[in-house]
Chain A
């Protein structure tokens, strides 16, 4: 049975590769952002069902500080988002599979900077499901 922490770890395993790390100045972390002034990727998951097919809705958020002009760094956010979506959509692994639920949306954070949110559908089929 997968829990929400497993979901986050599974999603990070899909994107924690040199090509993505080379695109960001910060880090790829679970739940909490590693910095406040770098380009970071944060994966979170607030829960997962316990059925024969477990379902979860994790999120991948790309944070980028605004440009010196005060505008959002749309070019960087777009580049990282496009690279991540390729790695996250229709990914079938041994114990789980992931699809991109929504191609994403730009959201302004409380501090005025912007992040790009990509919601996912996560599924895992339990082998020994008991609650029948």
Chain B
């Protein structure tokens, strides 16, 4: 049975969100801050009702959790990406960005490629439909740079022909990107 580990980041890419799970062109997210990338899988709350004199549950009630989230910190403020994340007017001739008062919810697909930590295998995690909000982190000191603090609320997608919604894909590949055929031992 093959085993796989998921850790480290080779690269993170973004594209316009897709509710049908199809993205063809990805762009790189520059200079990811160490220790900022975290996928949070929220778990729903279960409560049970028992019969008055019984030990076994009579009925279980399950309250679904909020959606999953992904956080990413970026140390570079590339104007192309900033335009995706914020509602801004960008003037390349003067490299000036004017930030609009409205808060932008960016709709992005995000693809994380991990590093091949073990057995030359790495993971590619693709989240097709995210509602992304961005803030700032870090004080402006000589010892740190301002960080774009991205919080992605992970949404669902449904591929053509599918009957159920999906959230993300996680595929293990070899270090060079070659697909692993797990039917071959």
Residues of A within 8 A of B (CB): 51-53, 97, 99, 123, 125, 127, 129-132
**A52 in contact with B142 (CB, 8 Å):** no
The number of residues on chain B lying at the interface, defined by a beta carbon within 8 Å of a beta carbon of chain A, is 13
Q: Which residues of B contact A51 (CB under 8 A)?
A: 34
**B142 in contact with A132 (CB, 8 Å):** no
A123 to B10, CA, bound (A): 24
Q: What's the dominant secondary structure at chain B's contact region?
A: loop
A99 to B143, CA, bound (A): 11
**A129 in contact with B31 (CB, 8 Å):** yes
Residues of B within 8 A of A (CB): 8-10, 31-34, 37, 75, 142-145
Instruction: Across the interface, name the chain A residue whose C-beta is closest to B32.
Output: A132
Smallest CB separation, B114 vs chain A (Å): 10
Smallest CB separation, B174 vs chain A (Å): 18
Q: Which residues of A contact B8 (CB under 8 A)?
A: 131-132
**Residue among A125, A127, A131, A132 making CB contact with B145, cutoff 8 Å:** A125
A53 to B8, CA, bound (A): 18
17 A-B interface contacts by CB (under 8 A)? A52-B31, A52-B33, A52-B34, A52-B75, A53-B144, A53-B145, A99-B142, A123-B143, A125-B75, A125-B145, A127-B31, A130-B10, A131-B8, A132-B8, A132-B9, A132-B32, A132-B34
